[in-house]
Amino acid sequence: MPRTARKKSESQIYHIMLRGINKQNIFEEAEDYKKMLELLQYCVEKSGVEIYAYCLMTNHIHLLLKEGNEPLGITFRRLGSKFVYWYNTKYQRTGHLFQDRFRSEAVEDDSYFATVLRYIHLNPVQGGLVKNASDYLYSSYNGYLNNNSWFNTAKAFTILPKKNFVAFHQEKNDDKCMDIIEEQQPHLTEEKAKEVMHRVTKCRSSSEFQALEKEKKKDYIRTMKKKGLSIRQISRLTGESYYIIQKT
């Protein structure tokens, strides 16, 4: 089936989402998040893209940005290839890490810009990783408050005065933006799921799990199911496909 063309934004501003192939984890530890942030800063310098907000989740990334002096496809191929080369070298793995095509939606007006900004910053709260957006280390939220950001905060503050920034994020809302489809109520938080996986398998990453023998992987998958991990969580943590886990 041919791919549908991306909807072009007249403002050149987009909400972008990248995710791991088969929804597997793309960040295993703090160093991995820091490397991605380093490469995002590199893209700002190299391609002229303006980043307004970001959030690095365990198995996906949200960005609010404006296209630079090259097509976004080129920017994200560069970003992906550099990160995957570094990641594969570190974890002694081969092959793809990201789903082959990033998702995007056009952001054409200030109202939706503010909505996407808040949605991105509240992603870890909605995902059950933290109670407050300020508690999450790998989003742009604290950069807006601390004036030490490498990304563009000026546009957001023309729409939303800084004195209202925190209150705006704390407002009750039913923001609906582009996202991955996940199970509505995961059995365990991601942090708890990672702890269980490590206890059961002694593996620290999906790469280590993939190196195990086939029958041992099946045994571990069955055990993780019994421990309360959802099929989606096991898939993200192990790199195994949803179908294989469902049938095991």
The pLDDT tens digits of the residues spanning 188-225 come to: 777 888 888 888 999 988 888 999 998 889 889 988 88
Q: What is the pLDDT of residues 38-56, one digit of tens each?
A: 999 999 999 999 999 999 9
* pLDDT for 235: 86
Which token pair is 1? 């089936």
* pLDDT for 183: 40
* pLDDT for 184: 40
Q: How far apart are CA 73 and CA 142, in angstroms?
A: 28
Considering only residues 124 and 101, tell me which one the structure prediction assigns the higher pLDDT: 124
Q: How far apart are CA 168 and CA 214, in angstroms?
A: 49
| Bridge pairing between strands 60-66 and 13-19 | antiparallel
Q: How far apart are CA 24 and CA 4, in angstroms?
A: 25
* pLDDT for 187: 55
Percent residues over pLDDT 90 in the chain: 52
- Are 50 and 44 in contact, with CB atoms under 8 Å apart? yes
* pLDDT for 164: 94
DSSP string for residues in 20-37: BGGG--S--SHHHHHHHH
Q: How far apart are CA 44 and CA 68, in angstroms?
A: 8
State which of 6-15, 74-83, 167-176, 220-229 shows the largest mean pLDDT: 74-83
DSSP string for residues in 170-193: HS------------SS-SS-HHHH
* pLDDT for 229: 85
- Are 55 and 65 in contact, with CB atoms under 8 Å apart? no
Q: Residue 182's pLDDT band (boundaries 50, 70, 90)?
A: very low
- Are 22 and 241 in contact, with CB atoms under 8 Å apart? yes
pTM: 0.73
Mean pLDDT of 140-150: 90
Q: How far apart are CA 21 and CA 23, in angstroms?
A: 5
Q: How far apart are CA 229 and CA 235, in angstroms?
A: 10
Q: Residue 67's pLDDT band (boundaries 50, 70, 90)?
A: very high
Q: Residue 243's pLDDT band (boundaries 50, 70, 90)?
A: low
- Are 143 and 37 in contact, with CB atoms under 8 Å apart? no
Please tell me the least confidently modeled range out of 1-5, 55-59, 175-179, 244-248.
Answer: 1-5
* pLDDT for 40: 95
Q: Which of 182, 51, 31, 185 is nearest to 120 (CA)?
A: 51
Q: Which CA distances in Å does 127 have to 60, 102, 148, 227?
A: 12, 21, 26, 20
Please tell me the least confidently modeled range out of 78-92, 107-121, 224-238.
Answer: 224-238
CATH of segment(s) 13-170: 3.30.70.1290
Mean pLDDT of 98-103: 81
